[in-house]
Amino acid sequence: MNRCTKCILPENTPKIEFDARGICNFCTSHTPITYLGQTELEKELKRHLPARGKYDVLVPLSGGKDSTYVLLQLHAMLGKRVLAYNYDNGLVHPQAQDNVRGLTERLGVDLIVRRNEQQRERMIANLKAYLRKPDPAMVTMLCTSCRYGIMGNAYKIAREHKIPLVVIGWSPVEDTPFKEELLKGSGRSVMTGLMRRLVKNPAYASPVNLAAAAKDYFHNYSHVKSGHPLLRMLYPNVSLLQYYEYIPYNPDQIQREVTARAGWRTPDGEDSWQFDCKIKLLQNYLYSSALEYTATDSYLSAMIRENFIDRDEALRRLTYLQSKDLPKTEQLHAFLRECALDDLVKYFPARTRDKNEAPVPMPEKQPGKEMAVKTK
């Protein structure tokens, strides 16, 4: 498979084009990210402070390196007037849970955990729908209600505690535009593409699932940042600040700092991005089987464009991750069994770098036989 000669995006990336040098349009049109800086960050914090309640800011904390760094930095600035909040969707990696507990105890900051078992049930239902009619554009449905779960709960907690500001640790480097383009397909919008696919595979279209997807739509980062009218009406006294709009985002440097300063840990030092949710294993399997690339290809390519790593280093990391396919499949099988999905393990054969089999579709349901959604 051919890849861009500057980044590592493959030739089957949606909307990709190559020039005579083999460089993709995403690289040639790229403008380096500019940051507002520490001074502007302090001004923005002061604009919202002091708060009316016990806390000045709320920080959603996943246990990953990026949110860990945000909490460390804001604690250094504001002390115990920072409230940490963790969203537990029932699918969180144990190491991420250890990181959350360890950091908040070390800093002495208060922590609120909100748990949602329904997301596991939706993931199971959507996985079964996917396996009936595999379509890489619908892999994103495995995370239905995640954005709402994270941001919706963050806003609710901020409102309950009279906190004027939610500070998140997300960066454009983490953006994965190929997912939206896959959903759009030949349609004009993500919603149009999604509706077309729901018609083709009605197994996704339960009322509960559609309601959760709609909530996700209104609570994605772009809507929250821009102040969508619905969110302004629901949370009139709560604002959002994206920390990495102000402070430069360098993933490797952040990982070194949180490891040294906070005792932060990751199950695999070469694959620390978004490890905190077990669904990533499932997503990566499905994307790599259908497309021969995953969100990691997009992430490493963005790091190249921002001059954090060079192309050789990106390819080295990608090769290493591909070499881990077999043990990661074993982890995926364990995850499916944890979700009481032993009968689905057969649809995810063990893979190596020389064998990349797509999951076969599940047999169609027989009339009168419903597929039960089990929870452990």
Domain boundaries, the chain: 34-269
Q: What is the largest CA-CA distance in the chain?
A: 64
Fold type of domain 34-269: Rossmann fold (3.40.50)
Does 236 have pLDDT greater than 90? no
pLDDT, tens digit, for every residue of 158-180?
A: 999 999 999 999 898 999 999 99
CB 135 within 8 A of CB 201: yes
What value does the mean pLDDT take over residues 315-321?
A: 91
pLDDT category, 137, cuts 50, 70, 90? very high
pLDDT at residue 191, as a whole number: 81
pLDDT at residue 359, as a whole number: 63
pLDDT, tens digit, for every residue of 1-40?
A: 899 999 999 999 999 999 999 999 999 999 999 999 999 9
Q: Which two tokens stand for residue 108?
A: 């002495």
Torsion of CA 268, 273, 275, 278, to 10 degrees: -130
Closest CA to 204 of 152, 284, 116, 134: 134
